[in-house]
Structure 1
Amino acid sequence: MSRFRTIPPLLVAALTGVVILGSPSQADAGFKLTLSDGTTSTVIEDNKAGDVAGPAGLITFIGKVGIFDFQVTTGSSNAPGTESLAQLTINNLSIATQGFVGTKNLTITLEDTGFKSPDEGLLTSQLSTTMLPSGSSVTYQSYVDGQAGKLLTLNSVGGVSDSQAISAKTNPYTLKSVTSYTIQGLGENTALALQSTGISAVTAPAPAGLVLVASGVPFLGLATWFRRRGNPLPVA
């Protein structure tokens, strides 16, 4: 029989504090976290009931949704964003449940409607997991104003990412992430634990001048190599 330990309160506070120290300082009123097992749904808005974190732009939930015990789940937003970065991060530091037979689903949605910049560039999605029960899977997908990024999937501990060009349809715009677990029960009198992190980020495209400079670096290196050999750089 597999077992897990409940995270001590002091450790919960420490983990939450780490996230707080690294989190953005501002969030829009439209920042919220939704947890659903398909039957029961819980919605936590920034700095409202259910949010045990203090700073704006950070939502931390500790509690139960159906049979799932959320010991620490934290979402952060840097809305309205900076000139170069808009980002949502969801850290499921500890989700546990007692044993069951069959398959259970759990969906965690994090969204903020208050992003203003950058409103075009590269949408990057990242998913990693450090604890996933045997036979289970987790998916992660980012959305910008309803435009979906690539669906990322993991069936075991590991990480995956993807990037694509994106342009928001509105300003302010909505950035959203959806983490979906499909959990295979291992029978009665067992215990299961989940841990994962998802990041959805919009980054501004590099300035044209910077791209030109970067593209010239290999040629500068080639010219140096020819000079050191005492040969002139060939001319096309």
Structure 2
Amino acid sequence: MSLHLYSHPLASFCHKVLIALYEQGTPFENHLVDLGDPDAKADFLELWPVGKMPVLRDQARDRTVPETTVIVEYLQQHYPGARPLLPADEDARLHVRLWDRFFDLYVQTPMQKIVADRRRADDEKDPRGVAEARATLATAYGMIERQAGEHGWICGEDFSLADCAAAPALFYAGIVEPFAREHTRLAGYHDRLMDRPSVRRTYSEARPYFHFFPFQHLIPARFLKDDTP
């Protein structure tokens, strides 16, 4: 097996790459890294000293590839599947990259701020930072509501890198900061994402670890069933 993915079973950014791999049907070996194990942590830091997951290791090409967007583009360049996740047209590709960055920066990042704060001791919590994160999510939700169509995906009719980013971002963000009632297009888009086979598979694999998520009591029941993501 040439491709080895180093990941964490609950990490939203790892889910982004898993969705891309499953979309393409790309063979790979998934290594779940336990950073609480000193030996496993040391091995991972030897691979990527920054210590952030996921990281893709391509043994055949002797390449270590970090950062989710770079990983997905690397896969498309060197291990293309049946469905390209970035369009050939340059303007369309820029549009997909824009929305990929949007979901990473303005949905994933504030969501992670809220989750990280939940793990802190009471005297270390950052209520102002959490309030700002929730405000960022509210703004992002409004922008997605305007962008999302009645059908299809965030950048049109083709599922893309941007949707790979959107699925895990909205899965967790929708738990910690539920969508407003008026965000019907956003909710519909979220439902389409959650019904996508690659996304269903990703969350089926993550489900045994949900009890480690600090907001696990807020996970909707439909995501806890064996036959749904």
Q: What range is the shorter-chain TM-score in?
A: under 0.3
Greater helix proportion = 2
- Using the size of structure 2 for normalisation, the TM-score is 0.25
Which is higher, the Rg of structure 1 or of structure 2?
A: 1
